């Protein structure tokens, strides 16, 4: 167990902001705290590294009450990335990334090796970027550095508070892909706050949907879409296109079958989602698509009727 | 312009030489008020022209130092002028007076910087400290310096009598103690004001991120807040040092010594040359401090 919330309560200006919140987060999960503004999702995240205090109940980190840790030690064991990034303007990219390792007293060689490793992980050339200053970077690059900085000391947990919220859609999509890759390759436990449903569906291994300080529903993206626990969940996820969202979570691979008769006139790659395949069919006015691998070799075909019957 | 200034000195020296035919060391040839006015004005015009030249800080510094040459020349070419003779008579006192002056400035500004920073840092966290302290600092700033020196004499003398140990350590109603304390109080306002302005323009998200990554309050101050506040802080520090260098002259009235002592000695004995001998180093010290902080600021600004 990485993080456990037990009967957490939080008052904000006298009113209950969080009421009796219980949540377990396992090692290696990417839990997305999702909800409208004012739902308390960001507050819940900040309670974990004690940027915000909780009034009732307790939060356990690796089985120990977070209040039993020295607060600086606790925070250095948790990566922290925020929407405004908060890079230090007077320090270079490398120096920014090295912040926590230096606080932990790593030697210079180890710090430099780690900095370069992280820049490469986030697809930034160390030669080119290590000695730049934050104002010389684009917004997307700044947030990449922010994520690298959060990962620097190899923390047990990564806390991310709407980290991609201020980015344009193209940059955001690129960073979502990068984060997903990092999660897969490092197996880090990540707690991620967003109000963007599509971002949550794409990234989460588990979504915790919050409303007015309590959990409306927690489960995998597919569970939430297929069995919304109540009206709020269905409405928040977008009742009208729940089906489309489900389609976007599934790959066409299982629906691919051998071609009988003539080969379809149009093709799609096998990594596409059901949603992409159906969208293709709609624009091309066809009911069959050929499926190819990355090199373009035809593997089989998918039929519209099969895709819609899932 | 530099040649013009130097020329004035050479001419003055020549005439002084011809006028003082007798080898009597007590004969004086004094320069008139007209000379000094002309000299000061020419110098100010020159400095102003340099400011407008849009040079790099270093280039400006070099050019300014060229304009100091006439003064050095005066000690050589103008050796028959009374100011040079006054210098020769006072040369042993002169060095000591400069050192004493620097000591007064240093003892006032360094504690003002440390305490001013601490106060400003507390103010960023406590609104009511700011509301309580700024009116006090502003009022102190409006008290004429001579009055403040005077005001401090009585309580300090009383303290020295009550606590003889402090008295033996040099705390008394006259001398260094009232001067340094008063100048410290004057220096506090520009330092606190600029430090606070500097600390307040540190981006909140950088502070938030630093705390979230596990920096202690001290690490936050040294690694993030102070470096980011430095450019603004330096402006206030520059004001404080220049202002203290000037005001320290007045502190001679409470027996603190320094260049002000020479100035007042000259005033009281109607020896204008002695006054000038005290004033010129004060002006130079202030200019030097001003330039030093300007260079420092431009060096810091070079880094983004």
Tell me: the pLDDT tens digits for B241-285? 999 999 988 888 887 788 888 888 888 887 777 888 888 888 888
What is the rounded distance in angstroms from the CA atom of residue A46 to the CA atom of residue B1? Answer: 66
pLDDT over 60 at B14, yes or no: no
At B21 the pLDDT is: 45
Q: Are A46 and A212 in contact (CB under 8 A)?
A: no
At A8 the pLDDT is: 93
The token duo for A285 is 């006015």
Query: Closest residue of B to A151, CA-based?
Result: B213
At B16 the pLDDT is: 52
At B89 the pLDDT is: 72
Query: Closest residue of A to B303, CA-based?
Result: A90
Q: Are A2 and A27 in contact (CB under 8 A)?
A: yes
Among residues B197, B301, B216, the alpha carbon closest in space to that of A75 is found at B216
Query: Closest residue of B to A47, CA-based?
Result: B212
- By Cβ distance, the residue of A76, A90, A133 closest to B213 is A76
Tell me: the pLDDT tens digits for B18-37? 554 444 445 555 666 677 77
β-pairing verdict for A206-211 and A30-34: parallel
At B294 the pLDDT is: 86
Taking the CA of residue B214 and the nearest CA in chain A, the distance in Å comes to: 4
What is the rounded distance in angstroms from the CA atom of residue A88 to the CA atom of residue B227? Answer: 10
Q: Who's near B105: CB < 8 A, 6+ residues apart?
A: B183, B241, B244, B245, B248, B285
pLDDT band at B295 (very low <50, low <70, confident <90, very high): confident
Global pTM?
0.77
How far does Cα A169 stand from its chain's mean position?
15
What is the rounded distance in angstroms from the CA atom of residue B263 to the CA atom of residue B247? Answer: 13
The token duo for A209 is 């949907």
Strands of the sheet containing A3-12, edge to edge, are A15-25, A3-12, A56-61, A64-65
What is the rounded distance in angstroms from the CA atom of residue A69 to the CA atom of residue A174? Answer: 36
| End-to-end Cα separation, chain B, in angstroms | 37
Q: Do A149 and B212 touch (CB under 8 A)?
A: no
Query: Closest residue of B to A74, CA-based?
Result: B214
> What average pLDDT score do residues B161-184 get?
78
Among residues A200, A204, A98, A108, the alpha carbon closest in space to that of A151 is found at A98
Q: Who's near A227: CB < 8 A, 6+ residues apart?
A: A219
The token duo for B213 is 């990554």
Q: Who's near A217: CB < 8 A, 6+ residues apart?
A: A207, A209, A224, A228, A229, A230, A233
Measured CA to CA in angstroms, residue A261 lies from A281, A285, A300, A307 at distances of 19, 19, 12, 20
**Three-state SS for A122?**
coil
Please give the residue that has the higher pLDDT: either B142 or A22. Answer: A22
Q: What would you report as the CA-atom Rg of chain A, rounded to the nearest whole angstrom?
A: 22
> What average pLDDT score do residues A210-218 get?
92
Across the strands, what pairs with A301?
A257, A290
**Three-state SS for B220?**
helix
Taking the CA of residue B291 and the nearest CA in chain A, the distance in Å comes to: 24
> What average pLDDT score do residues B40-45 get?
74
Q: Are B181 and B109 in contact (CB under 8 A)?
A: no
Taking the CA of residue A156 and the nearest CA in chain B, the distance in Å comes to: 13
Q: Are B284 and B265 in contact (CB under 8 A)?
A: no
Q: Who's near A148: CB < 8 A, 6+ residues apart?
A: A97, A115, A118, A119, A121, A122, A124
What are the residues of chain A with a beta carbon less than 8 Å away from any beta carbon of chain B?
49, 51, 71-76, 80, 82, 84-90, 99-100, 103, 133, 135-136, 146, 149, 159
pLDDT band at A17 (very low <50, low <70, confident <90, very high): confident
Q: Do A90 and B228 touch (CB under 8 A)?
A: yes
Q: Who's near B265: CB < 8 A, 6+ residues apart?
A: B271, B274, B278
Q: Do B205 and A84 touch (CB under 8 A)?
A: yes
What is the rounded distance in angstroms from the CA atom of residue A86 to the CA atom of residue A143? Answer: 9
At B27 the pLDDT is: 52
Q: Do A89 and B212 touch (CB under 8 A)?
A: no
**How long a stretch of residues is chain A?**
310
How far does Cα B267 stand from its chain's mean position?
21
- By Cβ distance, the residue of A88, A133, A159 closest to B224 is A88
At B69 the pLDDT is: 65
Q: Are A46 and A161 in contact (CB under 8 A)?
A: yes
Phi then psi for A188, rounded to 5 degrees? -65, 145
Best mutation target among A49, A86, A103 (most B Cβ atoms within 10 Å) is A86
pLDDT band at B57 (very low <50, low <70, confident <90, very high): low
Please give the residue that has the higher pLDDT: either A240 or A86. Answer: A86
**DSSP structural state of residue B221:** I
Among residues A234, A249, A237, the alpha carbon closest in space to that of A197 is found at A237
Among residues B203, B194, B285, the alpha carbon closest in space to that of B234 is found at B194
- By Cβ distance, the residue of B209, B213, B303 closest to A90 is B303
Q: What is the ipTM of this complex?
A: 0.81
Cα-Cα-Cα-Cα torsion B147, B151, B156, B159, nearest 10 degrees, comes to: 180
Among residues B197, B195, B174, the alpha carbon closest in space to that of B255 is found at B174
Whole-number average pLDDT of chain A = 91
How many contacts, defined by CB atoms under 8 Å, are there between A and B?
64
C-beta neighbour count of A205 within 10 angstroms: 14
At B82 the pLDDT is: 66
Tell me: the pLDDT tens digits for A143-154? 999 999 999 999
Q: Which residues of B touch A49 (CB under 8 A)?
A: 212
Q: Are B20 and B85 in contact (CB under 8 A)?
A: no
What is the rounded distance in angstroms from the CA atom of residue B245 to the CA atom of residue A289? Answer: 86
> What average pLDDT score do residues A227-239 get?
89
């Amino acid at each position: 167990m990485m993080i456990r919330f037990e009967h957490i309560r939080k008052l904000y200006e006298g009113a209950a902001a969080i009421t009796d919140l219980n949540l377990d987060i396992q090692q290696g999960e990417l839990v997305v705290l999702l909800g409208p503004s004012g739902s308390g999702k960001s507050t819940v995240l900040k309670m974990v590294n004690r940027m915000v205090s909780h009034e009732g109940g307790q939060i356990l980190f690796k089985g120990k009450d977070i209040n039993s840790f020295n607060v600086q030690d606790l925070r250095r064991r948790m990566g922290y990335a925020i929407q405004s990034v908060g890079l230090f303007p007077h320090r270079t990219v490398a120096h920014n990334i090295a912040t926590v390792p230096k606080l932990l007293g790593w030697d210079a060689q180890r710090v430099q090796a780690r900095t370069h490793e992280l820049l490469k992980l986030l697809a930034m050339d160390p030669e080119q970027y290590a000695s730049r200053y934050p104002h010389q970077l684009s917004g997307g690059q700044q947030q990449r550095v922010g994520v690298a900085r959060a990962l620097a000391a190899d923390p047990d947990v990564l806390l991310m508070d709407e980290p991609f919220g201020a980015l344009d859609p193209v940059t955001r999509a690129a960073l979502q892909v990068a984060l997903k890759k990092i999660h897969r390759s490092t197996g880090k436990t990540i707690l991620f706050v967003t109000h963007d449903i599509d971002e949550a569906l794409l990234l989460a291994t588990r979504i915790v949907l919050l409303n007015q300080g309590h959990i409306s529903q927690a489960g995998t993206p597919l569970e939430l879409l297929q069995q919304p626990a109540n009206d709020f969940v269905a409405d928040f996820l977008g009742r009208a296109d729940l089906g489309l969202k489900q389609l976007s979570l599934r790959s066409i691979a299982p629906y691919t079958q051998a071609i009988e008769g003539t080969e379809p006139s149009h093709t799609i790659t096998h990594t596409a989602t059901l949603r992409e395949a159906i969208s293709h069919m709609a624009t091309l006015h066809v009911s069959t698509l050929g499926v190819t691998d990355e090199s373009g070799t035809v593997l089989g075909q998918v039929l519209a009727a099969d895709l819609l019957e899932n | 312009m530099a040649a013009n200034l130097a020329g004035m000195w050479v001419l003055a020296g020549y005439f002084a030489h011809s006028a003082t035919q007798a080898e009597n060391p007590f004969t004086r040839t004094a320069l008139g008020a007209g000379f000094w006015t002309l000299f000061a004005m020419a110098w100010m015009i020159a400095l102003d022209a340099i400011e407008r030249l849009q040079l790099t800080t270093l280039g400006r510094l070099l050019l300014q130092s060229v304009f100091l040459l006439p003064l050095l020349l005066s000690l050589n070419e103008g050796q028959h002028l009374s100011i040079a003779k006054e210098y020769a008579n006072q040369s042993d006192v002169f060095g000591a007076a400069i050192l004493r002056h620097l000591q007064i400035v240093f003892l006032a500004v360094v504690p003002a910087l440390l305490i001013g920073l601490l106060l400003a840092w507390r103010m960023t966290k406590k609104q009511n400290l700011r509301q309580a302290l700024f009116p006090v600092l502003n009022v102190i700033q409006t008290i004429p310096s001579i009055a403040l020196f005077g005001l401090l004499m009585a309580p300090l003398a009383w303290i020295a009598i009550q606590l003889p140990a402090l008295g033996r350590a040099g705390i008394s109603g006259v001398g260094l103690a009232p001067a340094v304390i008063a100048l410290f109080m004057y220096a506090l306002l520009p330092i606190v004001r600029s430090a606070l302005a500097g600390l307040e323009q540190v981006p909140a998200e950088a502070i938030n991120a630093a705390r979230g990554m596990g920096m202690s309050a001290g690490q936050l101050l040294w690694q993030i807040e102070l470096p980011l506040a430095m450019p603004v802080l330096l402006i206030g520090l520059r004001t404080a040092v220049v202002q203290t260098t000037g005001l320290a002259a007045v502190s001679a009235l409470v027996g603190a010594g320094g260049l002000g002592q020479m100035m007042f000695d000259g005033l009281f004995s109607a020896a204008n040359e002695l006054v000038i001998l005290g004033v010129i180093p004060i002006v130079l010290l202030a200019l030097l401090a001003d330039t030093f902080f300007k260079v420092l600021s431009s060096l810091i600004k070079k880094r983004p």
